[in-house]
Structure 1
């Protein structure tokens, strides 16, 4: 079977993840040599995303990466390297390789481009913030090893900021179920398992240690929430950058819940389980 046929069997996101895994392995083999150029970087923070697939991390991460002083990787799984003891310079080297590949490829994912023409995506003016938008694996690793970030901060003196993007759970579960080619019932169980991980991480890090960003509000007020995001991670808001954020995003969220038949008992289950999590407060089937 040819490579072309194998690729056609995967969606765009799966193909990118497969290609990136091989490229990342190569980067890790030469990371010590390449990290030297970033040892003098004066980093204000390392920004990691936690949470669910298909919740809006790609959009928020791409907006942050468009800032002239930030580089945010796409699905790098930076926590893997933090757990391995990578220094900020080594982690920066891995992020640079990831961001440049994603940008050269047009930053396309599942039929949508996260590229912002004329922005600083894939390059920097004065590198101050590094990050990774991979939310699910980061949440999984942190829930298992909550002290990993504490150790990183103590050793290297670079604070870690956690960003949690939420989306209406009915839309989030529907889209995730479609992409993982699974049913709504099992995807609902997986969804709330991640909710529990995020809640435990937020409790460990403290209330001010995690910024919860609602996907729907981010689309409705992109300038305001992008400025809030920049302040949270230690970046100065840039007027041109805020304008670019407005141009990237859809004006309204996609209500994918209406594309699949939801049984009444499952709608009720989501509503019932969502009550346990403050970051899901206000989400309903009808909003």
Structure 2
């Protein structure tokens, strides 16, 4: 039932947005002439994607939408300009209302959220959603390349799996989804398997992997490297303003719930199967 409602909502979005995006893409086509890079997030819920997306959206040459769901528009054969317009419109909407789906959306004071100078990078912060769509239709990745006809860059945000899983579990309890902790563990690592598969289809140089804990420990250096990866200038005032809204220490959500030794070991054994999770543990 839930899946049916979601599919109906997607169809409604596709119908509702088709003609406005056709007009908006045509009207704003000159804004897109200098775009060099499409930025795609891949990953997991509750891993810090919203923060990174907002920080990048604050750059004067970058627009990052908040969970537009680009791949559903790729599936519906929207054009490049239609999709770019929807990404721009989404960024402007969330910057204006300062609200994300389900919570607070970070806005960087004195910077460019929802605005831009010369637009060089555009993308969508929808890590979990993109991964789930690619699980069902892996060919959407090649179709995305054909549609946007520009350089693709992938951002993979990683957080301690125990913290991510704990937060997934807590959110499920709030929503009365009746998910137990083991099911949340299995869901998280199913996403890891899809990410590992996506990585095999992409050049190593086209993926930027950033640990959430590293961003918090050193936001300026992390953002500077990320800007260089995307091909935009890491302006000093931009970096400093962004660093001011990054919290000082990561929240270790794993300690908010009860973990038994069996589940701790289950997660650790799964961590050991993925090289991009190396070094994480319940104690770290």
TM over 0.5: yes
Matches within 5 A, 1:1-287: 26-40=16-30, 41=32, 42-107=34-99, 112-154=104-146, 156-181=148-173, 182-287=179-284
Structure 1 residue 98 displacement after superposition: 1.2
Counterpart CA distance in 1 for 2:260 and 2:148 is 50
Q: Separation in 1 of the partners of 2:185 and 2:273?
A: 14
How many residue pairs end up in the alignment? Answer: 269
The Cα RMSD (Å) is: 2.1
> Measured at CA, do residues 111 and 150 of structure 1 come closer, stay the same or move farther in structure 2, by a change above 3 Å?
closer
Deviation of residue 23 (structure 1)? 7.3
How many Å separate the matches in 2 of 1:279 and 1:238?
29
How far has the Cα of 1:27 moved from its partner? 3.2
TM (norm. structure 1) is: 0.87
Q: Quickly say closer, same or farther: Cα 1:156–1:178, change in 2 above 3 A.
A: closer
Q: Is the 8 A contact 1:107 1:115 kept in 2?
A: no
Unaligned 5+ residue runs, structure 2?
1-8, 174-178
Distance 1:153 1:112, change over 3 A: closer
Distance (whole Å) between structure 1 residues aligned to residue 15 and residue 68 of structure 2: 11
Asked whether the equivalents of residues 47 and 159 of structure 2 are also in contact (C-alpha less than 8 Å), the reply is yes
Q: Distance in 1 between matches of 2:201 and 2:243?
A: 33
Instruction: Note the C-alpha offset of 1:113.
Output: 4.4
CA distance in 1 between counterparts of 2:149 and 2:248 reads: 39
- Quote the Cα distance in structure 2 between the aligned partners of 1:20 and 1:80: 8
Q: Which moved more, 1:209-218 or 1:76-85?
A: 76-85
Distance 1:110 1:165, change over 3 A: same
| Cα gap change, 1:35 to 1:74, in 2 (>3 Å) | same
TM-score, reference length from structure 2: 0.88
Look up the SS of the partner of 1:47 in the other structure: strand
Provide closer, same or farther for how the CA distance between residues 80 and 109 of structure 1 changes in structure 2, counting only shifts above 3 A.
Answer: closer
